[in-house]
Chain A
Amino acid sequence: MLAAMLLAGCGSGDDGGTSGGRDGGTGGGAVGGDLTGTLTVFAAASLTGVFTDLGDRLEADHPDLDVQFNFAGSSALATQITQGAPADVFASANTGQMNVVADADLADGEPEVFTANVLEIAVPAGNPADVTGLADFEREELALAVCAPEVPCGAAAEDVFAAAGVTARPDTQEEDVRAALTKVELGEVDAALVYATDVAAAGDSVEGISFPEAEDAVNDYPVCVLADAPNPAAARAFVELVLSDEGRTALADAGFRTP
């Protein structure tokens, strides 16, 4: 079993890992036979929907492959990887946390930006507080949530507030974007600053309001195969699938934008 994995790794290394290639990753059951074992993907929480879907597609092409995901905040994932977690692929929601991994010489090759995300204002269905734009974050009487400045969505929020000249008066600085969105879903805040993809994934209980200043804080998502990947062949196949047209379409459907 292990020998087969090693052989597969060598084989696909020689031809540049064409299995599940950039164009038409779902084709060719014959090529698909070479990926086996377990593929462990560490990915930013915002990628949960898209990556689970792409993982299913890769498993369908390679019946002997088992794709496992660890979805969490990018910084938590970067910490786990630098502490030696056995991961094959890392997809970060910002370049900063990818740099943490790359600076520790844990990335195999140059990380590649595969998509981007922008902020959007999330309000409860029906928009009870009549929020129209970023300036509403100055209204003292509203219950408002942003992400904490320590996490990527909070850093992005600071950028857009600065660009808009808005002095935000949030009631809470959430530990991640999901937590901010949950408070909108529960109707406990009148507005929160989250990613467009989170609004797209939230369903009917949340409405999104886009604003021009969002362009000042576009968040790039880099991905890389990890240097210590236990299953490098499968890792390369997954990264190629993400970068393929098929991957881009799946990302676009989930509200991500092309980089």
Chain B
Amino acid sequence: MRRRRARGGQGSVPVPLLVPAVVAVAFLVLPLVGLLVRTPWSELGSQLTAPGVGQALRLSLVSASLATAVSLVLGVPLAWVLARSRIRGRGVLRALVTVPLVLPPVVGGVALFLVLGRQGIVGRWLDEAFGITIPFTTTAVVIAETFVAMPFLVISVEGALRAADARYEEAAATLGADRWTTFRRVTLPLVAPGIAAGAVLCWARALGEFGATITFAGNFPGTTQTMPLAVYLALQRDPESAIVLSLVLLVVSLATLLLLRGRWLGRAGAAP
């Protein structure tokens, strides 16, 4: 393995792979360059300190992180059920789980209303029994983001579980561990990188979530106005400030991901 890599050299990417890869990079990066070119750098300071920007950014980060936490707590077990259990109708279950991926987010928002809204199946009961109404609250933001983002985590983790060597789990079982202990002590550490990758995808999707949020949670500064909503509304009045806001969201999310990635890679690199 090591010898082969040394012989091939690091610069030798086969041309049939190199050309499409370069096109892909250009395709993904050029819009970002467009943003940077159009950024009114001289106004950057005043735009950044404008009232509401910090508020929207904080709300975005908090709600996306909460949505990721909820997705981890609920999504990892679901991924395990999909990958390891032998319950009937797993195929149907998997298809249902991916519905939020194909559903236009605005439709997802309306669907959330129909379940959790004031007039919704569950929401009506919550309102009557406990006086709890969910729409137009920060809770609604987290729910909308979780709805849209959790499938990314579930699919990533399920893929990692399928790829993981089941013999470790079997070995644990022969040594007398029950399935719960096996899951905690063997499976989880085994698929930790997959869970981390899924969490990153989930967090990023939640951070950029727009359609379901603005539909189900509405838009109000401080309670439900996340950065994507602020960007969209700024675009209506002042496209330049919308560009600055997009850039802020971009920088903060990239910085967070790079930071986390460095930590994970550092840990993974230290292990072997």
Contact = CB atoms under 8 A, between A and B. Distances in A.
Contacts of A171: 135-136, 218, 220
A145 interface: yes
A187 B118 contact: yes
B117 A188 contact: yes
B107 to A, nearest CB: 12
Given A143-B133, A188-B113, A175 B219 contact: yes
A3 interface: no
Contacts, number: 63
Contact of B136 (A75, A150, A172, A182): A172
A179 interface: yes
Given A151-B233, A151-B236, A179-B214, A186 B220 contact: no
Contact of A148 (B118, B133, B233): B233
Interface string A158-173: 0000000000001111
A76 B242 CA distance: 13
A232 interface: no
Interface in B181-220: 214-215, 217-220
A79 B113 CA distance: 31
B236 A173 contact: no
Contacts of A207: none
A186 B119 contact: yes
User: Which of the four size classes fits the interface of chain B?
Assistant: 20 to 34
Nearest to B136: A171
27 contacts: A73-B236, A76-B236, A79-B235, A145-B218, A148-B233, A148-B236, A150-B233, A150-B234, A150-B236, A151-B236, A171-B218, A172-B136, A172-B217, A173-B221, A173-B225, A175-B219, A175-B232, A175-B233, A179-B214, A182-B110, A182-B215, A183-B218, A187-B118, A188-B113, A188-B117, A188-B118, A188-B135
Interface of B: 110, 113-114, 117-119, 133, 135-136, 214-215, 217-221, 224-225, 229, 232-237, 239
